[in-house]
Amino acid sequence: MTKIVTVIGARPQFIKAAPVSKAISDTEGLVEYLVHTGQHFDENMSQVFFNQMGIPKPDKQLNIHSMSHGAMTGRMTEEIEKILIKEQPDWVMVYGDTNSTLAGALAAAKLHIPVAHVEAGLRSFNMEMPEEINRILTDRISRLLFCPTLTAEENLKKEGFDKFPCHVFTTGDVMYDAALFFRGKATAPRGVSIPKHFVLATVHRQENTDNPENLHNILAALNEISSQIPVVFPVHPRTAKILEANPGMLSENVVTTSPLGYLEIIYLLEHCRMVLTDSGGLQKEAYIFHKPCITLRKETEWTELVELGCNMLAGSDISRIREAFSHFMVHKIKFTEGLYGKGNASAVIAEAFRDIK
């Protein structure tokens, strides 16, 4: 029996884990032990995803959150190490690029337990992003690298991973698996009236929420857009605190909600006109649901979406956001199928654990 300790802690990782955990449970000879670090810890950012998506109840909940990057990563590494010493797994699996990702990978590598990284090979080439540091370091100490795209695989080749003791697989994207599986279960958000026509906006990255000028510009752009079409804006807790302290920053045409579960986000993606976001995952989900996306960052790991023309980078520049919005309002975008695989990435990952010793 092959034992896998999976470390997750943030909203995107819950979404990615749902189809992979199911594939592991469906594969003979595999057993999973799930660790939730607590990086996203409140009901709307964490537990709702477990409830809606059928993710197995974590075997261990660490409740580590609300710390600096260094303190959080260090504390997580310490606690995950204790679990690994006790459980003695054959593999440690981590997802994406959060502090939880790096902590899980470091704890395993120090104990000489092989690491599997889901969503390996992504690069923004912006070393000021904590996520970029996390993903580069995690890739380097991983033995199984599951790339969601050919671009990600090519990034690893350029960095010399063909000379490292590891296995690189281009699996497709597990978020595509999740979207296909849960699409028919989408539900409208409760307690809020969703307009018939609207754009969906999210803002959560610290480079935007913690930079007053960036956040002011983005909110001003949302206000301007909302004069033409309503904006539905699920508000991240960091942004909510700023809005509470500065009433009047948003137009009445911007419909705010608390953070939403995956099934509500899927519903909004199905029904919106376009997406404005600084989220990496939502950029992909917009493509999956054939919705153009304005990315509120200067770069993206999902460069193929920009090349395809369904994603435009705008950062926090009001004029660029305005130009991208006007472009997508009048141009019909062609969505090429197959960028993120065939919807079977989770099964490929599970088989790799069974086949590689």
Q: Which residues are part of the catalytic machinery?
A: 204
Q: What is the spatial distance between Cα 260 and Cα 282, in angstroms, rounded to a whole number?
A: 13
φ/ψ of 117, rounded to 5, equals: -115, 115
SS (H, E, C) the chain: CEEEEEEECCHHHHHHHHHHHHHHHHCCCEEEEEEECCCCCCHHHHHHHHHHHCCCCCCEECCCCCCCHHHHHHHHHHHHHHHHHHHCCCEEEEECCCHHHHHHHHHHHHCCCCEEEECCCCCCCCCCCHHHHHHHHHHHCCCEEEECCHHHHHHHHHCCHHHCCCEEEECCCHHHHHHHHHHHHCCCCCCCCCCCCCEEEECCCHHHHCCHHHHHHHHHHHHHHHCCCCEEEECCHHHHHHHHHCCCCCCCCEEEECCCCHHHHHHHHHHCCCEEECCHHHHHHHHHCCCCEEECCCCCCCHHHHHHCCEEECCCCHHHHHHHHHHHHHCCCCCCCCCCCCCCHHHHHHHHHHHCC
- Region for 150 from its dihedrals, namely left if φ exceeds 0, alpha if ψ lies in -120 to 50, beta otherwise: alpha
Pairing of strands 293-295, 311-313: parallel
